[in-house]
């Protein structure tokens, strides 16, 4: 009985390993084994010098940093305040932060496109028009940061909420306050260090989301990393696959670091 169970288990695991490893192995093979040229690593060496690689990667990283900063600045004070003095608002915030889950990215971007069209259509004579132009600056599209913050909200809120559940915020703050700390001091030096794991978790989830995001950026006409891979794919198949392999390795590294940092919320942003 035990022997049969073991056989069955290894069969299942083996089949799964085959299904999940073959595309990886084949992709690597595809990039190094060029028909007519033999084994070559050109696809990988070309990446760095490729047109748009550095600029798109930098743009994605900048967007990620900005998104993480904004989303944490918005949510951290809010979730702490909800614990301390406004518990009645908690269901409201919970619902608001979960709403983006109901709107798929493609539907969200359809709404954003419509709003952005109001700029030229209705507001061209008002000072608001300048704002509309400014948020769409291709060097640093603020509109993407805004969109990504909304898309990251559900995951960040859940990560922080789970982290706070393990911390007695009220006692921490009252202790800090009675030792003479001001409100900001109590928050930064007593509460935040206890939330380190949750903050890291939330940041990594947001980072993974922004680095892989394609839908919103493409339909708004910007070219961060994921869109660049897509654009390259049309002309240089080998290199686009090489970049895909690399980006998977980066994601692995990121999420392994996340697992190492003690995070456990693994279902971040599976929406392709």
Which residues ranging from 111 to 170 are in contact with another protein (CB under 8 A)?
111-115, 118, 146-147, 149-150, 153
Q: Which stretch binds another protein (CB under 8 A): 53-61, 160-168, 194-202, 249-257?
A: 249-257
* Residues whose CB is less than 8 angstroms from the CB of residue 158 and which lie 6 or more positions away in sequence, other chains included: 265
Shorter beta-carbon distance to another protein: residue 58 or 99: 99
Q: How far is the CB of 133 from another protein (least distance, A)?
A: 17
Q: How far is the CB of 58 from another protein (least distance, A)?
A: 18
Q: How many residues bind another protein (CB under 8 A)?
A: 89
For the chain, the farthest-separated pair of C-alpha atoms sits apart, in whole angstroms, at 79
**Binding test (CB under 8 A) with another protein, winner from 215, 222, 223, 224:** 215
192 scored as a contact of another protein (CB under 8 A): no
* Residues whose CB is less than 8 angstroms from the CB of residue 196 and which lie 6 or more positions away in sequence, other chains included: none
Q: How far is the CB of 161 from another protein (least distance, A)?
A: 13
**Binding test (CB under 8 A) with another protein, winner from 7, 13, 166, 257:** 13
Do 186 and 177 form a contact (C-beta atoms < 8 A)? yes
**Binding test (CB under 8 A) with another protein, winner from 18, 89, 133, 166:** 89
Helix (H, G, I), strand (E, B) or coil at 39: strand
d(CA 255, CA 174): 35
Shorter beta-carbon distance to another protein: residue 12 or 54: 12
189 scored as a contact of another protein (CB under 8 A): no
Q: How far is the CB of 44 from another protein (least distance, A)?
A: 14
Shorter beta-carbon distance to another protein: residue 47 or 149: 149
First to last CA, the chain: 42
Do 112 and 147 form a contact (C-beta atoms < 8 A)? yes
**Binding test (CB under 8 A) with another protein, winner from 197, 233, 236, 261:** 233
- Interaction residues for another protein, span 38-77 (CB under 8 A): 73-75, 77
106 scored as a contact of another protein (CB under 8 A): yes
Give burial (CB, 10 Å; 0-12/13-18/19+) of 120: exposed
* Residues whose CB is less than 8 angstroms from the CB of residue 28 and which lie 6 or more positions away in sequence, other chains included: 245
**Binding test (CB under 8 A) with another protein, winner from 12, 18, 133, 134:** 12
**Binding test (CB under 8 A) with another protein, winner from 50, 69, 255, 261:** 255
d(CA 156, CA 69): 12
Q: How far is the CB of 244 from another protein (least distance, A)?
A: 4
Closest CA to 67 of 196, 207, 224, 201: 207
**Binding test (CB under 8 A) with another protein, winner from 9, 122, 165, 196:** 9
Question: Which backbone phi and psi does 264 adopt, to 5 degrees?
Answer: -130, 0
d(CA 81, CA 83): 5
**Binding test (CB under 8 A) with another protein, winner from 18, 54, 128, 259:** 259
């Amino acid at each position: 009985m035990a022997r049969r169970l073991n056989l069955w288990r290894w069969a299942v695991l083996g089949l799964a390993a085959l299904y999940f490893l073959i595309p990886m192995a084949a992709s690597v093979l595809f990039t190094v084994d060029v028909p007519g040229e033999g084994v070559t690593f050109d696809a990988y060496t070309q990446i760095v010098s490729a047109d748009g690689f550095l600029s798109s990667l930098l743009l994605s990283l900048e967007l990620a940093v900005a998104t993480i900063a904004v989303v944490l600045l918005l949510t951290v004070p809010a979730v702490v305040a909800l614990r301390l003095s406004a518990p009645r608002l908690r269901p409201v915030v919970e619902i608001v932060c979960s709403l983006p889950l109901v709107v798929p990215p493609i539907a969200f971007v359809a709404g954003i496109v419509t709003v952005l069209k109001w700029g030229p259509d209705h507001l061209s004579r008002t000072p608001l028009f300048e704002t509309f132009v400014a948020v769409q600056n291709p060097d640093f599209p603020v509109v993407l940061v805004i969109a990504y913050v909304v898309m990251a909200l559900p995951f960040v809120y859940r990560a922080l909420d789970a982290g706070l559940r393990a911390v007695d915020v009220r006692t921490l703050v009252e202790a800090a306050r009675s030792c003479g700390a001001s409100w900001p001091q109590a928050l930064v030096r007593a509460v935040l260090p206890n939330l380190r794991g949750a903050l890291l978790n939330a940041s990594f989830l947001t980072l993974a989301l922004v680095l892989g995001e394609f839908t919103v950026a493409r339909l708004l006409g910007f070219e961060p990393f994921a869109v660049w891979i897509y654009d390259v794919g049309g002309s240089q198949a080998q290199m686009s696959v090489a970049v895909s392999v690399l980006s998977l390795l980066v994601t692995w590294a990121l999420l392994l670091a996340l697992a190492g940092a003690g995070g456990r919320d693994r279902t971040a942003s599976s929406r392709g």
